[in-house]
A and B are shown apart, each in its own frame.
Chain A
């Protein structure tokens, strides 16, 4: 360090002498002025005061980038006019190192720019050796490319102001080549001509302002840098006499004179990705064919090849060639068919003999030969053709024969398989005595792990086990595998599907006899049900409802149902849920409200999830059971009670009733009308002479006349009953007249006010003494004498004051508003009178009911004529009716 400082001082002395010779504007000079400083090292600079005595070294200080003062402990005072500083170069950003005078004299203050000097510190990392250099020259057409592509791993950092550049160098006996310079980690070198069989030396030169460094030199034969195309036209050829081999042929991807290649072959059975590799030593010759051996007959194989430079071990492998798939020739079946039996028939009264193709079928199995054996020996062989629609494989199951157990003739069957090349060894199976047997061992564990189903069972106590058969069945498909006698735990090797229920059974074969150990249902993986249960019926009652649902179909369950959950709710209310065990298919919801609509749904759950049914609605009943019956019985009893009471009342009051309903009718023969004179006090006569012969009494207020009286007799007759029952009322005090069109007038036109004042006895009557009874010719003109009587204190109407007018107007004048309330006291009497009329055989349409509006709107003259004619026709029946009396 001291030597460097001495050198700096010499330099500064030189600079100072130069400055003395020139008029230079600064009084501080710094050194050294390096192009770059290395990051992580100490840097020492010196500042010298020149051409002034205004300042000394004690007045100097050092700043980094004008702001950060370098601590004084880093200063070294060389003499009175020179101050050195040592700093650690850190950070990647370039910066200034300033030497500044801090003296506060007027001269210094006025010449500040002369008392500052700096060094620009351009920082850099030292270049480092690159690592993992690798180069490759790829095949281009039938030649190798003249370009050598290289890449490497950069070591060390880079700074913006002093980047490291890299150059790849390639050298061989005939020349040296270099790449263009790059700051990246990859580049290429143009070799002009690829130097086959020449020893190449390749390295990378890393260079920056701090220096140059070379990487490790790669020394290899040039061909080891070559990456050719994969072997071309790779072809596998099956040869009929060799069912276990395939002949592979290919072509060199590049002329062998340029690069001698070694090849690598790999193959696998189609569908498998477990490649088998041919040892490199077998293919490192100049060959263009190879025979793959020890292959399975009648199996498809996929073959791939690649190549690289034969000499040396560091050549670049080409890519793998495209798949070449070929099938080996057929051979005769080398193993037995896998023979098994299934229970058949509705009651297990038969067994089905089934088999799978031999494991080493070595070709397409075309038929099976089945040889049945009885107690007496072998029967003739039966040939069963294999289903050629299916691909011949281990998983194909062929039904060979159905055997009835009732016959008990066959004891054994033996089966062989045939293909185009020959016949397999025989497999034999003993026929069971009974198709279905109760399992003898209860313990069977079935579980799944990592996508496989495992089965574990207990070895039966008795000995003589030949082998076990593990069978798994789903609807429509059964498969099995055989395990040796020492096995008690295995994984099912067949392809199982998720969410499908399998019935797993374990059979033991003992001396050719099959015995079922145990079976269990299992899933490879459970899922949520695909559909919910179906609510097929609900039986709502008043405060409960019974739900019945169907189980989810087996293929939709996708797992074991753990439980059901019934949810129900009223409208706009939160649902309630009730768990129900999985073995139930009906449930009664209780605590419901009557006459309420409920929505209900059921979810079925497995361990993996649940699924809801479609919502179902029902409405509870309005009444609880017995309510309606109670009401009916109550009403019936009440009605019965009422009837009884009515009967009792009738019985007790029969005299009153008789008097009301069947009053004493006065005998006309005893009538004193002949002696009746106006002088007679009417009140005394009235009770005895309600109705007299030849006198018509028209009740007031109930008689209505309809407009068009004559034209509408029919309608009149239809209303007859009404008139009779409701609108006829008798006159007062038994005054009545039945044969005159103007016999009686009881007018109530006065209205309600009048009614109030005559609530009890406002009655008008006209008693007409008519000769009608004698001459039967009632006419307005033939009426000679009219006797009118009134009990009312009201003034008489015009009709009464002017009898002539009344007589002409006839029935029109006999009009009353239908106000029965005004005559409540006389109503019963009216009805009684109606009955009286009936008893007397009087047709009621003899009366002329008048309607109030008709009266108001009809012209008096025309109406008078109408009324007159009506009166004539209406009196005819009366005459007849009274004749017998």
Chain B
């Protein structure tokens, strides 16, 4: 993990963490609006849609970031699909605020995906392409669509929360490491 932090500045990690928090915040707001719009209870269960292993503590940083990045990528694909279906099936039903929030969430999730991809690249991993090769979801009816969209939003929130936790863990580990000496100062010391 320390190697990752050597390759990527702390500021960058902090920025990605803040971005993950923004995504979570935006997703929370969207869920509130969605529940309000669809009259869904707050504690309603959702189906899992992203079947990627959670970045557990046993994995190394690269694997964690890979897992996170992949999960976020799946989320983004699902969200894109959800938006497309909503626009197709529910166009005119959603409020402007909902649409705006949904659009921001999509953009910020993409930014988060790109940012974690950068961290993964710095950690030696390979960022995924934002292409979902799985078969696109086709709801059987509108009710199923609404439940599916709710599940998508819950997945986005889950993975954004996962991102926050993982990145804060990275920050905490980096904070324990002694500050890295610059090359210049090393050279001057040797001289």
Residues of A at under 8 Å CB distance from B? 172-174, 192-193, 195-199, 221, 255, 257-258, 260, 311
Provide a sorted-by-A list of 16 A–B residue pairs whose CB atoms are within 8 angstroms.
Answer: A172-B111, A173-B111, A173-B115, A173-B117, A174-B114, A193-B103, A193-B107, A196-B18, A196-B22, A197-B15, A197-B115, A221-B11, A257-B21, A258-B22, A311-B11, A311-B15
What are the residues of chain A within 8 A of B111 when measuring CB–CB?
172-174, 195-198
What are the residues of chain A within 8 A of B71 when measuring CB–CB?
none
Q: How far is the CB of B9 from chain A (nearest CB, A)?
A: 10
Q: How far is the CB of B38 from chain A (nearest CB, A)?
A: 24
Residue-wise interface mask of B (108-129) relative to A, using a CB-CB cutoff of 8 A (1 in contact, 0 not)? 1011001101100000000000
Q: How far is the CB of B154 from chain A (nearest CB, A)?
A: 19
- Please give me the 4 A-B residue pairs with the lowest Cβ-Cβ distance, nearest first: A173-B114, A193-B107, A197-B19, A197-B15
Name B14's contact: one of A193, A196, A258, A311 (CB within 8 Å). Answer: A311
Please, how many angstroms separate the alpha-carbon atoms of A195 and B118 in the complex? 15
Please, how many angstroms separate the alpha-carbon atoms of A260 and B21 in the complex? 12
What are the residues of chain A within 8 A of B118 when measuring CB–CB?
173
Please, how many angstroms separate the alpha-carbon atoms of A258 and B11 in the complex? 16
B16 at the A/B interface (Cβ < 8 Å)?
yes
What are the residues of chain B within 8 A of A197 when measuring CB–CB?
15-16, 18-19, 22, 111, 115
A198-B107 contact given A257-B21, A257-B22, A311-B11, CB 8 Å threshold: no
Size range of the interface on B? 20 to 34
What are the residues of chain B within 8 A of A198 when measuring CB–CB?
15, 19, 111, 114-115
A174-B22 contact given A193-B103, A197-B16, A197-B115, CB 8 Å threshold: no
What are the residues of chain B within 8 A of A173 when measuring CB–CB?
111, 114-115, 117-118
What are the residues of chain A within 8 A of B16 when measuring CB–CB?
197
Please, how many angstroms separate the alpha-carbon atoms of A172 and B15 in the complex? 13
Q: A174-B114, A193-B107 are in contact. List 11 more A-B contacts (CB 8 A).
A: A173-B111, A193-B103, A196-B18, A196-B19, A197-B22, A197-B115, A198-B15, A198-B111, A221-B11, A257-B21, A311-B11
The reply to whether A193 and B108 contact each other, CB–CB distance below 8 Å, is yes
- Across the two chains, which residue of chain A brings its CB closest to B112? A197
B146 at the A/B interface (Cβ < 8 Å)?
no
Residue-wise interface mask of B (4-18) relative to A, using a CB-CB cutoff of 8 A (1 in contact, 0 not)? 000000011011101
Q: How far is the CB of A386 from chain B (nearest CB, A)?
A: 58
**Most chain B CB inside 10 Å of its own CB: which residue of A174, A193, A197, A198:** A197
- Across the two chains, which residue of chain A brings its CB closest to B100? A143
B81 at the A/B interface (Cβ < 8 Å)?
no
Q: How far is the CB of B102 from chain A (nearest CB, A)?
A: 11
B168 at the A/B interface (Cβ < 8 Å)?
no
Q: How far is the CB of B109 from chain A (nearest CB, A)?
A: 10
Name A174's contact: one of B11, B12, B21, B107 (CB within 8 Å). Answer: B107
What are the residues of chain B within 8 A of A257 when measuring CB–CB?
18, 21-22, 25
What are the residues of chain A within 8 A of B117 when measuring CB–CB?
173
Please, how many angstroms separate the alpha-carbon atoms of A197 and B109 in the complex? 12
Please, how many angstroms separate the alpha-carbon atoms of A172 and B114 in the complex? 9
The reply to whether B15 and A221 contact each other, CB–CB distance below 8 Å, is yes
What are the residues of chain A within 8 A of B15 when measuring CB–CB?
197-199, 221, 311
Residues of B at under 8 Å CB distance from A? 11-12, 14-16, 18-19, 21-22, 25, 103-104, 107-108, 110-111, 114-115, 117-118
- Across the two chains, which residue of chain A brings its CB closest to B127? A173
Q: How far is the CB of A339 from chain B (nearest CB, A)?
A: 62
Q: How far is the CB of A502 from chain B (nearest CB, A)?
A: 64
Q: Is the interface of A mostly helix, strand, loop or mixed?
A: loop
Please, how many angstroms separate the alpha-carbon atoms of A199 and B117 in the complex? 13
Please, how many angstroms separate the alpha-carbon atoms of A198 and B109 in the complex? 12
Q: How far is the CB of A372 from chain B (nearest CB, A)?
A: 71
What are the residues of chain B within 8 A of A193 when measuring CB–CB?
103-104, 107-108
Q: How far is the CB of A739 from chain B (nearest CB, A)?
A: 153
What are the residues of chain A within 8 A of B21 when measuring CB–CB?
257
Please, how many angstroms separate the alpha-carbon atoms of A221 and B12 in the complex? 9
What are the residues of chain B within 8 A of A174 when measuring CB–CB?
107, 110-111, 114
- Across the two chains, which residue of chain B brings its CB closest to A258? B22
Please, how many angstroms separate the alpha-carbon atoms of A199 and B18 in the complex? 13
Q: How far is the CB of A407 from chain B (nearest CB, A)?
A: 81
Q: How far is the CB of A460 from chain B (nearest CB, A)?
A: 66
The reply to whether A192 and B107 contact each other, CB–CB distance below 8 Å, is yes
**Most chain B CB inside 10 Å of its own CB: which residue of A199, A257, A260:** A257
What are the residues of chain A within 8 A of B12 when measuring CB–CB?
199
Please, how many angstroms separate the alpha-carbon atoms of A172 and B107 in the complex? 12
**Most chain A CB inside 10 Å of its own CB: which residue of B19, B111, B115, B118:** B111
Q: How far is the CB of A145 from chain B (nearest CB, A)?
A: 13
Q: How far is the CB of B63 from chain A (nearest CB, A)?
A: 22
Please, how many angstroms separate the alpha-carbon atoms of A199 and B114 in the complex? 11
What are the residues of chain B within 8 A of A195 when measuring CB–CB?
107, 111
What are the residues of chain B within 8 A of A311 when measuring CB–CB?
11, 14-15
What are the residues of chain A within 8 A of B19 when measuring CB–CB?
196-198
Q: How far is the CB of A191 from chain B (nearest CB, A)?
A: 9
Please, how many angstroms separate the alpha-carbon atoms of A174 and B104 in the complex? 13
What are the residues of chain B within 8 A of A258 when measuring CB–CB?
22
Please, how many angstroms separate the alpha-carbon atoms of A258 and B18 in the complex? 8
What are the residues of chain A within 8 A of B18 when measuring CB–CB?
196-197, 257, 260
- Across the two chains, which residue of chain B brings its CB closest to A311? B11
Q: How far is the CB of A512 from chain B (nearest CB, A)?
A: 66
**Most chain B CB inside 10 Å of its own CB: which residue of A192, A258, A260:** A258
Q: How far is the CB of A687 from chain B (nearest CB, A)?
A: 159
What are the residues of chain A within 8 A of B22 when measuring CB–CB?
196-197, 257-258
Q: How far is the CB of A178 from chain B (nearest CB, A)?
A: 18
Q: How far is the CB of A605 from chain B (nearest CB, A)?
A: 75
The reply to whether B11 and A196 contact each other, CB–CB distance below 8 Å, is no
**Most chain B CB inside 10 Å of its own CB: which residue of A192, A196, A255:** A196
- Across the two chains, which residue of chain A brings its CB closest to B104? A193
Please, how many angstroms separate the alpha-carbon atoms of A172 and B110 in the complex? 11
What are the residues of chain A within 8 A of B108 when measuring CB–CB?
193, 196
What are the residues of chain B within 8 A of A199 when measuring CB–CB?
12, 15
Q: How far is the CB of B86 from chain A (nearest CB, A)?
A: 18
- Across the two chains, which residue of chain B brings its CB closest to A193? B107
What are the residues of chain B within 8 A of A172 when measuring CB–CB?
111, 114
- Across the two chains, which residue of chain A brings its CB closest to B19? A197
Please, how many angstroms separate the alpha-carbon atoms of A257 and B118 in the complex? 21
Please, how many angstroms separate the alpha-carbon atoms of A260 and B25 in the complex? 14
- Across the two chains, which residue of chain A brings its CB closest to B110? A174
Please, how many angstroms separate the alpha-carbon atoms of A192 and B111 in the complex? 13
Please, how many angstroms separate the alpha-carbon atoms of A193 and B101 in the complex? 11
Q: How far is the CB of B53 from chain A (nearest CB, A)?
A: 25
Please, how many angstroms separate the alpha-carbon atoms of A311 and B12 in the complex? 11
Q: How far is the CB of A141 from chain B (nearest CB, A)?
A: 11
- Across the two chains, which residue of chain B brings its CB closest to A221? B15
What are the residues of chain A within 8 A of B115 when measuring CB–CB?
173, 197-198
Q: How far is the CB of B184 from chain A (nearest CB, A)?
A: 21
- Across the two chains, which residue of chain B brings its CB closest to A192? B107
Please, how many angstroms separate the alpha-carbon atoms of A197 and B111 in the complex? 9
What are the residues of chain A within 8 A of B107 when measuring CB–CB?
174, 192-193, 195
- Across the two chains, which residue of chain A brings its CB closest to B11? A311
Q: How far is the CB of A600 from chain B (nearest CB, A)?
A: 89
What are the residues of chain B within 8 A of A196 when measuring CB–CB?
18-19, 22, 108, 111
Please, how many angstroms separate the alpha-carbon atoms of A199 and B34 in the complex? 31
- Across the two chains, which residue of chain A brings its CB closest to B24? A257
Q: How far is the CB of B130 from chain A (nearest CB, A)?
A: 10
**Most chain A CB inside 10 Å of its own CB: which residue of B12, B16, B115, B118:** B115
Q: How far is the CB of B153 from chain A (nearest CB, A)?
A: 17
What are the residues of chain B within 8 A of A255 when measuring CB–CB?
25
Please, how many angstroms separate the alpha-carbon atoms of A383 and B108 in the complex? 73
Please, how many angstroms separate the alpha-carbon atoms of A782 and B16 in the complex? 173
Please, how many angstroms separate the alpha-carbon atoms of A577 and B114 in the complex? 96
Q: How far is the CB of A256 from chain B (nearest CB, A)?
A: 10
Please, how many angstroms separate the alpha-carbon atoms of A234 and B178 in the complex? 40
What are the residues of chain B within 8 A of A260 when measuring CB–CB?
18
Q: How far is the CB of B47 from chain A (nearest CB, A)?
A: 28
Please, how many angstroms separate the alpha-carbon atoms of A642 and B18 in the complex? 138
